[in-house]
Amino acid sequence: MPEFPAPCAENVSTDFAAALPHPVRLVAIDMDGTLLPDFSTVVSRRNREALHAAQQAGIQIVIATGRRQAFTAPLLEGVGLDPETLLVTSNGAVTRTFRGDRLDFCHLSPELARALAVLLRGAGMTVFTLDRPSPPDLIVEDMAIARGRLAKWVEANRGSIRAVQPIESALGDEVEIIQGMAAGTLREMAEAAARIADSPLAGQIEVIRTAYPGHDLSILDLLPPGISKRSGLERIASRLGIAREETMAIGDNWNDESMLDWAGVGVLMGNATDDLRVLAQERGWRIAPRNTDDGVATMLEMAIARIQPDANTF
């Protein structure tokens, strides 16, 4: 993950618990750049302890990530989460328990996926995630174009990837597709987004952007209309009978925007980009400490203190 300047001290919420209008019963937490430190796939000890304490206090923990289930669950194996912990993966397309039980999902139609593959050819790297219990569950057209952070992603997922040319030939009507993804430089993904916006597909697809300016990397997640981390969080809260006002969402990037807006308390990590921190002030989101300073733990400890006013923080 890119390095960002630390936020001004006055922007970090230090009186957070006292300012909460309602106790928090559900916290949705992004993974990369939020729960995980920069350049690491290991959850810190303080974050682990805060997750355990929150669950013991009766707070529902939801992991909400752009990663697919197979790329998320292994990173959480040693954290000690309850097996019933809910994971919203692929930016809202699938909800499963940590144990792997699928609760709901929304597939991208093969016809639409094939049209996207043709439309986006030549604009970065296009990937389709298939709803399969075993690899290969990622379809790409040309792994050779991957470079920088994309090359690291390809290497980490090599056992799950199948390369097919042309990619649309692997997207038959019998295939269940969770999502599409276009990835490349900021310029390439701006071009890809413009192609979609100017095409007949514009109203048929949800385009969710993630950007890492420090690495000149951007990702467009391509999902059925209305699907996002927000929709996943909203479905879970409804299922559990938890009011919107009793929810908190914590994230650091553009794909967290709608989730932070929907939650009763939206929390932006201090390592987010300057434009997101400006947006946080406009939207009324709280600013947490950076991910490298255990910002998630800070927010969870404060939420626990709101439920248990006499509880000791870590």
Considering only CA atoms, which of 92, 14, 11, 20 is closest in space to residue 265? 20
- Select from 61, 28, 63, 23 the least CA-distant residue to 302: 23
Neighbours of 312 (CB within 10 A): 9
pLDDT given for residue 39 in this prediction: 77
Query: How far is 90 from 180, CA to CA, in rounded Å?
Result: 9
Q: Is 14 left (phi over 0), alpha (psi -120 to 50) or beta?
A: alpha
* Order of strands, sheet of 247-251, starting from the edge strand that comes earlier in the sequence: 102-105, 94-97, 86-89, 60-64, 26-29, 247-251, 265-268, 286-287
Which pLDDT score, from 0 to 100, does residue 208 have?
94
Residue 301 and residue 313 in contact, taking contact as beta carbons nearer than 8 Å: yes
What DSSP string describes 85-152? -EEEEGGGTEEEETT--EEEE-PBPHHHHHHHHHHTTTSSEEEEEE--SSS--EEES-GGG--THHHH
Please, which residues bridge with residue 181 across strands? 127, 221
**How many Cβ atoms are within 10 Å of 41's Cβ, its own excluded?**
11
The set of residues, in sequence order, having a beta carbon less than 8 Å from that of 185 and lying 6+ positions away, is 124, 216, 217, 218
Residues in the chain: 314
Name the residue ranges covered by the structural domains of the chain.
9-105+228-307, 110-223
Architecture of domain 110-223: 2-Layer Sandwich (3.30)
Model pTM greater than 0.85? Answer: yes
Identify the pLDDT of residue 10: 33
User: For the chain, how far is it from start to end, CA to CA, in angstroms?
Assistant: 27
pLDDT of 314 reads: 40
* 148 and 215 Cβ atoms separated by less than 8 Å: yes
Cβ atoms < 10 Å from Cβ of 101: 11
CATH topology of domain 9-105+228-307: Rossmann fold (3.40.50)
CB 153 within 8 A of CB 180: no
The sheet that has 206-212: what strands, in order across it? 161-163, 138-140, 125-130, 177-184, 217-223, 206-212
* 212-235: pLDDT as tens digits: 898 899 999 999 999 999 999 999
Residue 153: what pLDDT?
Answer: 81
Q: State residue 17's pLDDT score.
A: 52
In this structure, are residues 105 and 95 in contact, taking their beta carbons and an 8 Å threshold? yes
pLDDT along the chain (314 residues), means of 10: 32 51 93 91 96 97 94 92 96 93 92 95 91 87 77 84 93 93 93 96 93 90 94 96 97 97 97 96 96 97 83 45
pLDDT at 97: 95
Q: Which two tokens stand for residue 205?
A: 């697809």
